[in-house]
Amino acid sequence: MEKVEIQRNGELLLGEFDDVIVVGVDIQNDFCEGGSLAIPDGASIVPKFNGIAKWVKLNNGTVILTRDWHPEKTTHFDQWPVHCVSGSRGAEFTPGIDPGMADLILSKGMGSTEDAYSGFQGRSADNQTLSDVIKQRGSKRVALLICGLATDYCVKSTALDAISNTDGNVEVIAVVDAMKAVSEDTGNIALSQMQQKGIHLVTSADILSEKVLSVHRKVVSPDALVSPEAEDKLEDISYDLDYYKLTMSNFAFEFEPDTEVTLTFHNRGNQRLMDYVGIGNLQSLFDSIQRRGFSHEELSYIRGLRNSRGNNIFSDAYLEYLANTPLPKVNVRYDPEIDDVVIDTAGIWAITSFWETIIMSRVNEMYFQGYMRVI
């Protein structure tokens, strides 16, 4: 069978959403290697799903896990080998899936005559359903991401039920590399059926790089942790002016006025940066700083700097240059080769050099904000 084409392009295919929900369908031991109903390479989706779940948390979204939770005796086992019996090791989530990260766990197939392939048939300990969670969003535009096991059974049933159980404000999105099928042929048939019903097929990289969708959020300034009013005060963000940066810029202005440079920033830490910092959030912040330009107060500060003899350190020509020359555009992107964020910018050395301290300080501040939100 011809492979199903995954939808992607260079634009935001689906636009901006008010909220995001990810459903991890039945990522359980019995459906992975060594289980009674194992799906080939089933456990390999765990890192992909965890990456999506962290991105959802970073965007203040909701993480839901579904699980088969069958009684010991059920007509369901007339069709299938015994699997995912409630309380058994086979019913546990696969290693690497932390149930503590879930906002809701939905158990399904609990009745003695119940098959319950779809996550919409599951219920939480307090009797909530997936439909309830979606209805709580009201008229908000919601991205519903579907991942899990198996593509050709419970994932497909959940995705198709999402189409029939939601209104037009919900877009159903299947993350194809965060799911596995019993067989490639039946998996492709399932993806084709989903696509025919209006379900969008994307990859985890498309989601993490925010190529197909973004989630509406205010850019939070570094002061927002202690001052909620600071969220809307991007104009107060300074250029991190220090003497070293100013003198280097001034040297380039006087002696290398036409020299162009490219700055590229990679994360060299042990933690993946994009697990805690949203690409869109970073891009919005840097765009705002770039648009802002040097403030009158900053230029006055630079003008007032004097050497030991009382003379101005920086010339009027340099100050005029800073006042009239915008910072170059910064590009925040996902690099699949390193599976993390890369930040780059290019332009005339005298002005581009300011981005070095701005980018490093803002990334560190936003990393710790995201870290505190996720843990």
Contact yes or no for 211/10 (Cβ under 8 A) = yes
| 87 Cβ contact partners less than 8 Å away, ≥ 6 residues apart | none
Q: What are the C-alpha distances in Å from 351 to residues 30, 179, 264, 282?
A: 58, 46, 15, 20
Share of residues in the chain with pLDDT > 70 (%): 89
Domain 16-215 architecture: 3-Layer(aba) Sandwich (3.40)
Q: How do the domains of the chain map onto residue ranges?
A: 16-215, 222-374
Residues marked as catalytic: 26, 108, 154
Give the residue from 131, 168, 162 showing the smallest Cα distance to 145: 162
Query: Do residues 117 and 153 touch, judged by C-beta distance below 8 A?
Result: yes
For the segment 338-373, what is each residue's pLDDT rounded down to a tens digit?
A: 888 999 999 999 999 999 988 998 898 888 877 776
Q: Which two tokens stand for residue 91?
A: 């019913």
Q: Cα(365)–Cα(103) distance, rounded to whole angstroms?
A: 26
Length reported for the chain:
375
* Per-residue model confidence as pLDDT tens digits over 186-218: 999 999 999 999 999 999 988 988 878 888 754
Q: CATH for 222-374? A: 3.20.140.10
Predicted confidence (pLDDT) per residue in 21-41, tens digit: 999 999 999 999 999 999 999
For the segment 125-140, what is each residue's pLDDT rounded down to a tens digit? Answer: 999 999 999 999 999 9
Q: Which residues contact 372 (CB under 8 A, 6 or more apart)?
A: 225
Encode pLDDT of 76-114 as tens digits.
999 999 999 999 999 999 999 999 999 999 999 999 999
Tokens representing 298?
């900053």
